[in-house]
Amino acid sequence: MNRLQLTNRFLDKMMPVITPVSVVLGILFADQLGPLAFLSPWIFAFMTFAGSLGSNLREVGGVLARPLPILATLLVLHFVMPFLAWVVGHFMYPLDQATITGLVLATAIPTGITSMLWVSLYKGNLPLTLSIIVLDTLLSPFLVPFILSTLIGSKVELDIWGMMKGLFFMIGLPSVIAMLLNQGTKGKVKSWSPRLAPFSKIGVIAVVAINSSVVAPYLHHPDQKLIYLSLVVLLLMIVGYVLGWGVGKWGRWGKETEIALTFNCGMRNTNAGAVLAVTYFPPLVALPVVFGIIFQQLLASLFGFLQQANRGEKTASSRLET
């Protein structure tokens, strides 16, 4: 196994630790990293491209023959969770529109690309996961601005067109280019994916650290409000995982699909959310997204463990080592 593959496997194992550490780095080196915020969309575009090289439209078309699991996931991701966040935000922070906006944004962003890693580790439905990621990625330039304008647009000035362009550049265009390359080379371009994967993980560290530096002044001296906000975000994220798990059980689509829905409904593309928050909103809006970055991988590990706890399976960490 070459050095790049070894590095990538090590970074995969360390993902639950990497993201919180990256937030800490952003706080500690805020003065140095803050001026680099303009690089975040470019780094993220590269990450999306690298993560989409294994995707092709033919596989997505095959899964669309059974659309109910995909529709159920999109419903949870972009209707149930943002509305729940809006309700919770108005109940907990009735006069704080920035926090309400941040909570809605943190739950309206598309599913996380790293859900592929967790679904793979816990032997879930990978074609379904790939299809959800691809479709959600392509729809996000339209869905995210629509959700924000519907739920908070009347109270906050939104640059809808700017957000659509930003999402298209960071997510839509790189994923389409990667899929077309995959299709045009008949899958040969997939060989790039393992070579680019470790650089993509390094990109995660950079994006998280840079965007965390923007909210560093609020995190240097955490007060009671900040602690409560972190708990609200944590509970909302737990609800997302639980809803995905519950919908999977209710649909009776099989254990593999149940695992896929758990991770795809629970995880978010928090790095894209952080870039959006920092680019188009005041710094306070980014706080819920930053807390999402801190908790997301840890919760993925917890829910993966819970799903396999009663089945006597090999642990995910031991599978990574073999």
Q: Which residue has the tokens 């790039």?
A: 192
Selection from 120, 107, 171, 139 nearest residue 300 by Cα: 120
Phi, psi of 226 (to 5 degrees): -65, -40
| pLDDT exceeds cutoff 70 at 318 | no
Rounded to whole angstroms, the Cα distance separating 43 from 205 reads: 10
What confidence tens digit (pLDDT) does each residue in 183-195 have? 788 778 877 877 8
What confidence tens digit (pLDDT) does each residue in 64-103 have? 667 899 999 999 999 999 999 999 999 999 889 999 999 9
- Give the mean pLDDT of the chain: 82
Confidence category of residue 259, pLDDT binned at 50, 70, 90? very high
Selection from 130, 129, 143, 131 nearest residue 263 by Cα: 129
Angle subtended at Cα 200 by Cα 79 and Cα 129, rounded to the nearest 5 degrees: 40
How buried is residue 38: exposed, middle or buried, by Cβ count under 10 Å (0-12/13-18/19+)? exposed
Q: Where are the domains of the chain?
A: 33-308
Average pLDDT over residues 294-315: 75
| pLDDT exceeds cutoff 60 at 312 | no
Instruction: Look at phi and psi of residue 314 and say left if phi exceeds 0, alpha if psi is from -120 to 50, else beta.
Output: beta
Q: What secondary structure letter does DSSP report for 169?
A: I
| pLDDT exceeds cutoff 70 at 222 | yes
Give the model's pLDDT for residue 262. 94
| pLDDT exceeds cutoff 90 at 107 | yes
Give the model's pLDDT for residue 157. 65
- What share of the chain in percent tops pLDDT 90? 22
Lowest mean pLDDT segment, chosen from 46-60, 216-230, 233-247, 289-303: 46-60
Residues 6+ apart with CB under 8 A from 303: 241, 245, 262, 263, 266
Confidence category of residue 264, pLDDT binned at 50, 70, 90? very high
Lowest mean pLDDT segment, chosen from 4-8, 135-139, 153-157: 153-157
CATH architecture of the domain 33-308 equals Up-down Bundle (1.20)
Give the model's pLDDT for residue 192. 80
Give the model's pLDDT for residue 188. 80
Give the model's pLDDT for residue 193. 75
Give the model's pLDDT for residue 60. 62
